[in-house]
Chain A
Amino acid sequence: MKNYSKITPEGTKDLLFEECLANRTVSSILGKVFSQRGFHEVLTPGIEFYDLFKEEVSGIPMEAMFKMSDSKGRLMVVRPDSTLPIARMVTTRLMNERHPIRLYYNQRVYRYNPGLTGRSNEVMQTGIELIGAKGKRADLETITTAVEALSKCVPDFRIELGNAKFYRALARKLPVSDSEREQIRQLIESKNYSALNSELDKLEQTQAVNMIRRLPRLFGGVEVLDEAITMCEDEKALRSLEYVREIYNDLMKIGLGDRVMIDLGLVQRNDYYSDIVFSGYVMGSGEPVLIGGRYDKLLDNFDRPAAAIGFGINVDALANVMMKRGNVPQKKKPDVLVHSEDGYEIKAIKYTSDLLGAGIVGENSVFETLEQALDYAKFNGIKKLTLVGEEIKTIDTGV
């Protein structure tokens, strides 16, 4: 039998020293931003029932989830997303809690990616959910939290706005079957201009058709919003655009300038987003590092309707970018190694904890002889060695 005890499964890896530190640093910077703004941290189980993530609700294809069965033969999945478990939690254990509820999480999510493409199946994700609040104030609060979170890590991020309602309003007007509508949506999502054109050429050239034809190209600066507003005749679609414009203007007032982009072609499949959506991009990462939006209908699935908005950040991707740029702390060397002579072990342990109490980074030597301890200190770049005996002496290791 082949032995797999020395390798990690595909799409996973050990995080060592700098990489681990970078990851934790990003998590802790973001956690601080969230908790300072009144969000409270929660952890959800690593495994859940498959029913929670049914594709109609989650938009996650069945084949992308890690599955297993419990002792009663029920289908379980390894957490592929954090928003749905939080929705479950809010509508059950927190059902009597006063709204709005402000939560944040920092945990791993697991999804199968097609093999051998260099993508991780295990991603550290952190994010917030603001539940039981609708309207512009809640939207602004969430988006500005996203902006602040990213700016604490990478100054040159971009934030992109869209509105899920816009495409839905237009798509409703297309005289096509559901499967054709789904095909059109896929073509917009992949910005496949040529195939979308030939698909739409078959239809009567109404205003909605022309608008959808432009949709994949409606991304960029605020000018695309103006273009869409001038072109749009559908009442509902127009209102959704004007709302994006309002949020855009408010973000300008915060001083985000050309950091804000627009993409009206953000049309993910089956996703639970119902209104404003936003993503964050950073140079050096081939995929968005932040994805979020309003999901007012999601909690209906748990029979406790409530308006909600949130976002998730890919901590690994952000840590990776920061590491490439050298913006994360290095592995810290101890300031001092404390070594004891025979019979003075307890004295040395007490001495070390006093040092640590004073904020010094120190290591307690586990070597039998002073010579070994010195050699270790030199090799690891520890500048000082404190020898604890009858007296306490500090030796310069000469590194």
Chain B
Amino acid sequence: MPAYKHRMTKLFLRATLFASTIALIQAQTDSRTAEIEAARDRKESQLSPDTPNTWEQRLIYVKDAKVLERLSAGIAGVRLKIGGMPTGSGFAIGPDWFREDWGRGEMVLNAGAQGSTRMWHKEYASVKATGFAKNKLWWEAEALHHDYNSLTYYGPGPDSEKSNRTNYRLEQTTVDTMLGGRPVPMVRLGGSAGYLRVNVGAGQDERFASSEKSFPAVPGFLRQTDFFRTGLFAQLDYRDNPIGTRAGGNYTLRYDYFHDQDLNLHDFRRLDLELQQYIPLYNKRRVIVVRTRAIQSFTRPGQVVPFYQQASLGGGNDLRGFRPYRFHDDNMLAMNAEYRWEVFSGLDMALFFDAGRVSPRRWQFQFSQLETAAGFGLRFNVRNATFMRIDAGFSHEGFQVFVKFNGIFGDRSLHSSLAPHLF
């Protein structure tokens, strides 16, 4: 039999079988009910467990077993902490112990240690007690030691050269305590005290000169001292959501007195004022943010602020077209404006303009002399909280890209004895 005839015969038989089957079904389904029952018959012959696929099963397990929550909570409060060191540390990681269920849930305990790829390290412990005076008072204490072996320094003053990049080692140990009160819901007031031990050494990043060799006359490099600090703070905070603010304001004021314990050279007082205002537009899908931060130092004749306690300007938190810690001096003014708009629920974009300047004299800032930067950024959000941001800033010194795992202009410590750019 020719091949094509063989194929045609097979096709004929199949067609006959197919049509007969349909006819048979049709004969059995002479009502709508029978038709539905026939479909049920077919379904019933193919029943199988309705199980999710492997990927869905894994996601169900992650949620049911609260895997992310367990990782976050750790084992008996011990978990891995990633990040949390100042800019320049490289990738930082270390164990962190956190409990908030002690003292009937009115104590928060935290301790940990971190090391970074650039061999910086930090150890810390803190306790916070709430619940006094009908939850209107709280107390905190913190001890910290760090050794940052290659912090960047470009020299003092607003005219420091970008090419004069050096680095230094800063080892500090602090013990701070504070007592705060909340007389009305949006206001916090309090006082704090602390002790600070400082050791400055040669920078370990061999790509750059060590700072004390380039700037031997800068106070603080050759002789170090300890400080006893006392301070007051006040905060008015009416932001709608502190971790993803779209409306409201946050105004903080700190005033600290640093008393030189050994050299009688570095007594100074510092005023740290920050004003943040969030102006919502279009149901908060657009936000204009304006922020001003001013740090002013006060010294008596014969006293100077050591360089490691001076205000710093530049980097991902204030002047984003400049390198981190680009400018240092006793006084600083930074102004930022951002226009943010929602791209979709998980992403906002921002256009920003930054201006600022450091100065050896108080309130000596002429607008024409301000360093400026402009750029754009991305703000990644989960559940109304910013968990990551990318900012690209442009200035006459080039451009900088910053990837940060926090919201810009976030909350800052009201009681730390460290320099403002290190907490």
A and B found bound together? no
Residues of chain A at the chain B interface (Cβ within 8 Å): none
